[in-house]
Amino acid sequence: MKIKGNFVGAGFALSLLLGGTVYANAATYQAESNNLVVGVQFESTSDIGGGQNATGIDPNDAIQWNINVAQAGNYKLTSRSATTAPASFEVYIDGNYTAEVGLRNTGGWTSWESIESVVFPLTAGNHTLRVRFATGNQKLNWVQLDQTSAVNQAEAFTTGLWRLVSRTDRTTLGRDGNSSGFVTADYLSLPHQQWRLASRGNGSYDLKLESTQTCLSRVNNAAALASCGTASSSWKFELLRARSVDRPAIYRFRSPQNTCLRPPVSPSTEPTVAACNTNARWYLETAGYGERTAPTEFQVSGLLIVKPVTNMTVPQHNIVAQGTVPQSIVEASQEAFKNRVRYWLERITDGRVTWTGDSVVAHEPIRSMDYATGPNLWWRNYVTGQYMLWNTSIQSFEPVPSVVGGSEIAFLPFPAHIPNDVQRFVPKGVYDSVQVFFEGGTVPGGWGYSPWGAAFSPQSNYTTWTTIHGGKTPAEQWLSFTTSEPTQVFIHEMMHGLDDYYDSLGVLLPEEYTHGAEVNRYASSDGWIHFYRDYWLGTVIGSDDIYRGFGPRMFSLPKVHEHAQSMPESTIKITHPFSGKCLSTKNGVINAPAGTEIVFSSSCSTDASSFVLQPDGMLRHKYTGSCVHPDGGTAYSGVKLVLWPSCTSHVDLPVEINDDGNIRNKLTGLCVHPAGGFSAPPEGTNALYQSGCELERLRFRFNRY
């Protein structure tokens, strides 16, 4: 089967329309020319660019036409394509690389999208136009060449710092501190890799290196640093592909001698000035902090729960963890979370992302934490230096002289370990990120860690959950405005939670996510704040030539707290750790009538023991909708708790959880006790109000389900 197409030019437009899908396979197809009508025949044997079933692209895949241009001017190429993955094709005029067209995933082989190239000049007369399918698999339905009044003009580059990134390997051009020559290397965000650009008119610029204040110049066929404002320091910026949300722009830097700056062919060589072909392609990306301003596009909110005391004992596993966060560090961490995170986040995003941070101090000790179990897992006691290795046969840790291989584990407070803090401080639909600041004492807790996944769990009240083991970091280090460490840890851990959430919504994120700095060609300098900058702006360039990270794609989607607002109401089980019992209706009646007493019961798996603690302090029985009242309406000493249909928040009724995990009536200050004052009350013991809230045996846990 042959598919026939015509290339027709009229007035200021030249069009090539291909009837139906065009196919090619490792070949170049030459059109037949007759004045302004060009006929092209294509074999319909496979899809252009390798196609739906191909495993790769043959660089010879191309289509070629002879065209007759009646009038010199600026032209653009429009294609109609379909692809299931990001793809691109290159445009050559008379054998010279002229432009690149990037195509996003259209979602299917029958979903078509039209996309334009950048503008390029054509002289009058006969030319050869060749389209080569450089990356990705795609089907091409038609292409059209039009004359346009638009001019191929580079963006205005005179504001702020920039970095020149090799299109080949994503390394950044800078000055070698040892030899004073040029190198491309992983990005450090330091002055020897950053450039300021001065316009010389007509799309030409001087590129001045920030560290030396000298300009990138052409010396014979090499690049060198020399005086600015000379003929050899002038570079014309040629835009080969326009920037979009999905793809970085591609540029070519042309010298007055019509040669182009080309990246080194290996790390040990320097850039050259040579032919303007596909080896002369660069990304030009913004750099630096605080030199550009932009309107706010995204607001993120977080809560820091500071846990000053850890007191965890697990005798069967030989684990004792006792730690205290000094008051100076408590205050410094709160200040850093509220104000330093805002300063750095707004600075690195040019104001496009703003931050609201709250903080509370939760005095109830951390009494339990989670840790991984499995072969070759170990931890080291921070005080004694003793190594503890997990023994799978006895399902416990045991002392060993040393550890060879394996991996150290961290002990971390999950939402299930401090459920009262979730109930008290993490209302549903308020925060995008919750972080717990603690000191594990003798056990390792990791510097910062994200033990909890995306915001889909009722245990965290549908927010992201991370931990910071920072009680040993001096207070003054948290308060710096000149270095972003250690405040970076708050940003880093928050990003982990956002990774999980926005990845589930389809946002393209960098390889290895927040830990992917090195694989994405960034190097450590004052931590990874420069990597986070591009991550938040959505401009980390992936190996697939696609912008990855948060940025506009994230900004347009529901925030974590907005997602939480749409999630179902969480159920809580109110457990009594001393006895292992929970609060339930008497006799385990699920559809309990008015006046049913609340008791201590071992039956905790049915809806008889399911409650909701409302924001107004009313404790509601989940199944019946009735609320817990003091019998008779006032929480006097000795009054039992009962269910009653009214849930109006009368002054006598609301309760709160105090710092020790006790349930206290807001009006009278009395707390919930088991009748008789038992530490381990018998089955069916009534719950009643009594004085003495400071007693440890009155502590409850509010676990969410």
As a whole number, the mean pLDDT across the chain is 86
Q: How confident is the model at residue 374 (pLDDT cuts 50, 70, 90)?
A: low
Quote the CA–CA distance of 195 and 160 in Å, as a whole number.
9
- Ordered by start, the domain boundaries in the chain are 2-148, 161-287, 298-361+424-562, 572-704
The answer, yes or no, to whether residue 117 has pLDDT greater than 80, is yes
> What's the rounded Cα separation, in Å, for the pair 236 and 357?
46
Class of domain 572-704: mainly beta
84-93, 117-126, 136-145: least confident range: 136-145
- Main-chain dihedrals φ then ψ at residue 464, nearest 5 degrees: -75, 150
At residue 575, what are phi and psi to the nearest 5 degrees? Answer: -100, 155
| Per-residue pLDDT at 375 | 65
Segment of 138-152, 365-379, 570-584 carrying the highest mean pLDDT: 570-584
Per-residue pLDDT band at 11 (split at 50, 70, 90): very low
- Residue-wise pLDDT for 230-252, tens only, equals 999 999 999 999 999 999 999 99
| Helix or strand (DSSP H, E) at 537 | helix 529-537
The C-alpha atoms of residue 259 and residue 257 are separated, in whole angstroms, by 6
d(CA 411, CA 403): 18
* Residue pair 388/371 in contact by the 8 Å Cβ criterion: no
pLDDT at 64 (0 to 100): 76
d(CA 106, CA 83): 6
Q: In whole angstroms, give the CA distance from residue 507 to residue 536.
A: 12
Other residues' Cβ atoms within 10 Å of the Cβ of residue 241: 23
AA identity, residue 308 = P
Tens of pLDDT, residues 62-87? 777 788 888 898 988 888 888 888 88
pLDDT at 392: 81
Q: Which of the pair, 393 or 33, is modelled with greater confidence?
A: 393
Q: Say what the pLDDT of residue 162 is.
A: 97
Q: What is the pLDDT of residues 293-318, one digit of tens each?
A: 999 999 999 999 999 999 988 776 77
Mean pLDDT of the 427-434 span: 95
Q: Which helix (H) or strand (E) holds 147?
A: strand 139-148
User: Which fold does the domain 161-287 belong to in CATH?
Assistant: Trefoil (Acidic Fibroblast Growth Factor, subunit A) (2.80.10)
How confident is the model over 493-505, as pLDDT tens digits?
A: 999 999 999 999 9
- 325 pLDDT tier (thresholds 50, 70, 90): very high
Whether 389 has a pLDDT exceeding 80, the answer reads: yes
Q: Are the beta carbons of 336 and 484 closer than 8 angstroms?
A: no
> Residue 97 burial (CB < 10 Å; 0-12/13-18/19+)?
buried
Least Cα distance to 286 among 189, 208, 352, 186 occurs for 189
CATH superfamily entry for domain 2-148: Galactose-binding domain-like (2.60.120.260)
Query: 229 in helix, strand or coil?
Result: coil
pLDDT of residue 22: 41
Closest C-alpha to 90, from 146, 28, 150: 28
Structure tokens at 268: 């040990």
Q: Are 425 and 461 in contact (CB under 8 A)?
A: no
**Residue 428 near residue 461, CB atoms below 8 Å:** yes
Tokens of 345: 């986040």
Q: Which residues are within 8 A (CB) of 478 and not within 5 positions of it... i.e. 6 or more apart? A: 329, 332, 333, 335, 336, 340, 470, 486, 487
Query: To which residue do tokens 């690195």 refer?
Result: 348
Report whether pLDDT(45) > 80: no
* Segment 141-184, tens digit of pLDDT: 777 888 888 887 777 799 999 999 999 999 999 998 777 788 89
Of 159, 185, 166, residue with least CA distance to 288: 159
Show the 3-state SS of 472-489: CCCHHHHHCCCCCCCCHH
Q: Do domains 2-148 and 572-704 have the same CATH topology?
A: no
Is the pLDDT at 598 greater than 60? The verdict is: yes
Q: Which of 42-46, 118-122, 512-516 has the highest mean pLDDT?
A: 512-516
According to DSSP, residue 365 is labeled P
Mean pLDDT of the 188-214 span: 94
**68 Cα distance to chain centroid:** 49
Q: How many percent of the chain have pLDDT more than 90?
A: 58
What was the pLDDT predicted at 692?
87
* Beta-sheet pairing, 353-361 with 298-306: parallel
> HSE-up of 590 (CA within 13 Å, CB side)?
6
Partners of 650 in the β-ladder: none
For 663-699, how does the pLDDT look when each residue is reduced to its tens digit (9 = 90+)?
Answer: 999 999 999 999 998 889 999 999 999 998 888 888 9
